[in-house]
Amino acid sequence: MIKRVLVVGSGGREHALGWKLNQSPNVEKILYAPGNGGTENNCSIKPTDIDGLLKVAKHKNCFTVVGPEVPLGEGIVDRFQEKELPIFGPDKQASQLELSKVFSKKFMQNHGISTANFRVFQNPDDALEYIKSKELPMVIKADGLAAGKGAIICRTLDEARIAIDRVMIKQEFGSAGNRVIVEDFLHGFEVSFIGIADGINFIPFATSQDHKQVYDGDLGANTGGMGAYSPVPMVSDELYEMILNKIMKKTVNGMRQEGREIKGVLYAGIMICNGIPYVLEFNCRFGDPETQPQLFRMKSDLVPYLEASAEGNLQSLDPIKWESGSAVCVVMASGGYPNAYERGKVIHGLNDAMKMKDIMVFHAGTENQGESIVTSGGRVLGITALGRDTQDAVERVYKALKLIRFEGAHHRKDIGNQALGYLGGL
């Protein structure tokens, strides 16, 4: 069994992964590369410095867990496997499911997995002409990685022109915008369905719901995620089984048929329309901020599932056990995020919040500066609460959040409201 774990990444997701893995009796030390102001045993190695990560993992005899998507796309798993070093995550071939939205849409089309109707364009004028022929709103998506910000909902033709200009001409997301997908807008509610695969088998996590837009009421620009909660009460047992069998297991099987066995995380962002699940996108890594409330609710030891995924042995494990209540995470962001923001703002009140029962503050964009912890990123903290139900968790998380302050801080005030409305709490 593993003794040391190297967690690759610096966000709230990575802090949460390390926090959970550190609870395992099979782990004696967690190292982070590069980590943040809330993590210990940090190595000043970027997630894309694969040579540097290889050296640390080999020297410290670590099992490596990859948090962000970029190193997966650059082949970190392939490189580690060449050196016979244990690592959790999909190889570059399987990562295409997240790296290219064009690939994933065509994959779903070929394997009969429900998704919105779409067209692919390399020419901006052709994309705009197509949108003119369709009923708005439509969604424009950059093909490649865009830090969760590459999908733009266009409700008017002017918004579509601006979006195409941003993505394809100004290339705000770099080469990710060389191709775009234009797809039908789906009405419904979203759910993040995440689990672990070993190339053949799939073990699901509890459901969660992300909140992508920067402002309350799902208004404003897309972000990396402003908060999340778990579980999602709107997902019935019947709907859960439909997603599990007709999307997740079907995807694992389809990838295997194409010679792209997916070992690691399989994450489907799903829109539920009139009781039918449609895939909006696939990811090949844990969600951020979904990981924070999910792992706060997880009763099982995470380590055996990561090991079994890497070794192709998930069928030997029981389903994951979860706390019966609810967990809610609210992100505190820097002023100006998701656009330009200042760094170096001193954070106050962290210890006061951490003293509260069933509260955990996961760090993301933070760093140590002398005796202070200061802001260093757009999404700064993920305040996370465990409650006996959604209402209780929401009340706890916002009570804790009030104890923390830094200049320019902003957050959404409606995380969990959709669940509360469904449950009759609003």
Summarize pLDDT for 395-416 with one digit per residue, the tens.
999 999 999 999 999 999 999 9
Q: Is 13 left (phi over 0), alpha (psi -120 to 50) or beta?
A: alpha
- DSSP string for residues in 185-218: ---SEEEEEEEEEESS-EEEPPPBEE--EEEGGG
Provide the token pair at 371. Answer: 């005796």
Residue 145 has a pLDDT of 84
Please write the tens of the pLDDT for every residue from 280-317. 999 999 999 999 999 999 999 999 999 999 999 999 99
**H helices of 32-114, where?**
50-60, 69-73, 76-82, 92-99, 101-111
Position 147 scores a pLDDT of: 73
Assigned token pair, 237:
């047992």
What's residue 150's pLDDT? 82
Residues 212-226, mean pLDDT to the nearest whole number? 94
pLDDT over 80 at 50, yes or no: yes
Work out the number of other CB atoms within 10 angstroms of the CB of residue 107: 21
Task: Categorize the per-residue pLDDT at 425 as very low, low, confident or very high, splitting at 50, 70 and 90.
Answer: low
Q: Is 90 exceeded by the pLDDT of residue 426? A: no
Note whether 336 and 214 are within 8 A (CB): no
For the chain, which domains are there?
4-92 (3.40.50.20), 117-184 (3.30.1490.20), 189-423 (3.30.470.20)
Contact 294, 194 (CB under 8 A): yes
CA distance linking residue 298 with residue 426, whole number of Å: 27
Model pTM?
0.95
